A and B are shown apart, each in its own frame.
Chain A
Amino acid sequence: MTSTDLPQTVDNLAPADPEIAISVQNVSKMFEIRTDSGGGIKSALTGFHRAKPKEFWAVKDVSVDVPRGSMLGIIGRNGSGKSTLLRQMCGIYSPTKGRIEVRGRITALLELGAGFVPQLTGRENVYMNSAVLGIPRERTEAIMGEVAELADIGDFFDNPVETYSSGMRARLGFAVSVHLEPDILLADEIISVGDVSFSKNGIKHMTRMRKEGVTIVLVAHGLAIMERLCDQVLWLHAGEAQLLGEPRDVIREYRDFMTMGDEALPTEDQSASDNPITHLEISSDDGIEYGYTGAPLSVHAAYDLPEPVEDAHLSIRFIAQDTEVFLGSADQAINQRLEGRGTIDVLVPILAVPPGQYALELDITEGTGRDAVSIASRRTRVPIRPLEEITLRDFVDLGADWRIH
């Protein structure tokens, strides 16, 4: 049941095992990036400036089998091809190479409430949404009560969706989706939407569907959830299958990678040797390579810039490895040129970051805001530990001064 022997080449494709719900076989997806988008028909007719479309391979030769009733998690950084792969599984994109076989009725949830019509009421939108997901009207009528209950939006259910808050919209979208009873559920980031209780609800229903034998493919950032629910996890990096296997193993490797930065993989443009930031480390008071919550933290870095940088800006931030949530950013603008070799020292007086595994990232950009051009970026792994009694459960230590009378 859980055998996941992958076909190695397109040629040895045996008729897929009926116990395999989704069989992804050597799938690649290429997009043509047109650089002359402003030219329109004029350049198409005249042939002037017709730059050759640039090829971008969003997914490269990925193979994975999802046995019926099992759950596959797909992880990877933003832009690693997760969503593109998911969209190919439900037919929105077609593979440029390779093939995908799907057995069973698919429900794809790429965005909660996608296709909701603002002018129609919640109830009408439920009908409409069910219709596009292939649910017969009688079935929708039968589940309408449950949907309304789960959405928990009260009288708004019969108001136009344009009067909803974004949270209500998401709740309604989710409520529809969990009552669809598909054979296969493809879900992109849906449980990370909304508040905590809503996410919990999402996990609860996903677990229920899993028990009922629904095959699930889930793209999410929440690694802990992935580890708990999935049978196998696929890690995509720059469109390629970096690792496929037991959730525990894959997620551990992925965490290491996320905290170590890009040096671990030579696939990035900036390998360790030619990174203009030649060195990055933390130096706590006692010289140990940990950060302590609530204590000062010093960061030491060295740079060697091949070209001078006008209007250089520096920033550091911590990236929580579980969630890729960015924490803390100390910007230091330098309104002068930065050139050649030098060192950077940053002192964080009180580290208001909760204990955990983090990557510390140092960025050098030219300019700020939207015009910023990235010059260099380097990450290093920084475990942050609690200082004796301090137990911080939230993201940030507010350092609040409490007076209770």
Chain B
Amino acid sequence: MAIENPPIVFTAASQQRNLVDSFREVWEYRGYIGYLAKRELRTNYLKTYLGWIWSLVEPLMTLAIYSLVFGYILDTTRGAASPTGLENFPAFLFAALVYWGFFRQTANSTMVAFSGSLNLRKKLYFPPAAPSIARVISKTIEMVPEILMLMAFYLLLWGITGIRTVGPTWIIMAPLLVLVCLLGTGVGLWLAVPNSRFGDIGMLFNVFLRLYFYITPIIWPLEIIDGRITNPIIRGIAIWSPLTQVVEAARDGIYRLQWPSLGTWLYLVVISTGTFVTGWIRFHRSAGKAAEGQ
């Protein structure tokens, strides 16, 4: 019985994979990635009484705190009015927070999962991206209850205010989730290998994220920028950064019940897939070496 397949060749360059090979290898290991994701979901809240409910506590708590401080005490709600007539700061905030949180989680998960897998990688061969992909999948699945919670909240508002808060534009939630997933994972892939060598990278990234959170119109409406921010650089970031576009698209579809512009979609598709593909290529150029401890 002759083996017809060409031999697998390992050379100095074989840890570096091109785009096609790396995707094909990930596909071949899809079964393993599935189990890894299942493991994440199963074990995250294993020793807790409330279980996966905890995945809702953090976003809800964040929502409550920001609503209290910015919506009530500081009253930044002016400008948060929807064309539908609804003017509700928590609803306005919730739509943006969901996507911001998802971005933060995918980027960090990608990094952390890679560093955490290096020890096992010395004993077991798997594609270097497998643990990160599994972690991102589990984080995506954890988004489902959060989005259901968002929907329930809006339905409740409809009941209380009598203003219709639900519309067909809600379907943008799904493609937007995909784009944010690509963007976050892409950023994570760019940083995963440097972070595995210098843990400082992950620390710096999260410090940067806190700053980025406040520059992005999440707790404040983008409309107020005109009267207040004159510095062209801050203005530019606040309006044109990818996360601003994500947050505004989310608000358009979920809160204002209008379709995000075609320009926004194009911008987001280019930025997200661009970040992901370049991150993926960069990652696969050096991940093998990093896994060898070099």
Q: Which A residues are within 8 Å of any B CB, using their own CB?
A: 16, 18, 23, 31-32, 40-42, 44, 68, 87-104, 106, 108, 110-111, 114-115, 117, 119-120, 124, 127-128, 131-132, 134, 136-137, 183
Contacts and interface: CB of A to CB of B under 8 A. Distances in A.
B130 to A, nearest CB: 8
Interface string B257-294: 00000000000000000000000000000001001111
B100 to A, nearest CB: 27
Which of under 10, 10 to 19, 20 to 34, or 35 or more describes the interface residues of B?
Answer: 35 or more
B198 A95 contact: no
A331 B201 CA distance: 49
Nearest to A108: B125
Contact of B34 (A41, A98, A131, A136): A131
Nearest to B119: A114
Contacts of B29: 131-132, 134
Contact of A91 (B10, B13, B32): B10
A400 to B, nearest CB: 42
B12 A87 contact: no
B200 A40 contact: yes
15 contacts: A23-B7, A41-B198, A92-B291, A93-B292, A94-B11, A97-B12, A101-B7, A103-B7, A103-B8, A111-B123, A111-B124, A114-B123, A119-B43, A128-B39, A131-B29
B14 A91 contact: yes
For the complex of A and B, list the 4 residue pairs with the smallest distance between their C-beta atoms, beginning with the closest: A131-B31, A114-B123, A41-B198, A128-B35
B28 interface: yes
Contact of B125 (A23, A32, A91, A137): A91
Contact of B9 (A40, A97, A99): A99
Interface string B207-230: 000000000000000000000000
B123 A110 contact: yes
Contacts of A32: 294
Interface of B: 2-3, 5, 7-15, 28-29, 31-32, 34-36, 39, 42-43, 46, 120-126, 198-201, 288, 291-294
Given A40-B198, A108-B125, A114 B120 contact: yes
A100 B198 CA distance: 32
A92 B3 contact: no
B118 to A, nearest CB: 11
B8 A115 contact: no
A49 to B, nearest CB: 15
Given A95-B10, A104-B5, A115-B123, 5 more contacts: A91-B10, A95-B12, A102-B7, A119-B39, A128-B36
A8 B288 CA distance: 28
B8 A44 contact: no
Contacts of A117: 39, 43
B125 A131 contact: no
Contact of B124 (A44, A95, A114, A183): A114
Nearest to A119: B43
Nearest to A19: B2
B123 A132 contact: no
A110 B125 CA distance: 10
A104 B199 CA distance: 39
Contact of A41 (B5, B200, B294): B200
Nearest to A23: B7
A94 B288 contact: yes
A321 B200 CA distance: 48
A246 B43 CA distance: 50
Nearest to B1: A213
Contact of A100 (B3, B10, B288): B10
Contacts of B124: 92, 108, 110-111, 114-115, 132
> Counting chain A CB atoms within 10 Å of each CB, which of B43, B123, B294 scores highest?
B123
A96 B12 contact: yes
Contacts of B200: 40-42
Nearest to A28: B12
B163 to A, nearest CB: 46
B198 A101 contact: no
A92 B14 contact: no
A183 B10 contact: no
A201 to B, nearest CB: 22
B294 A101 contact: no
Contacts of B292: 31, 92-94
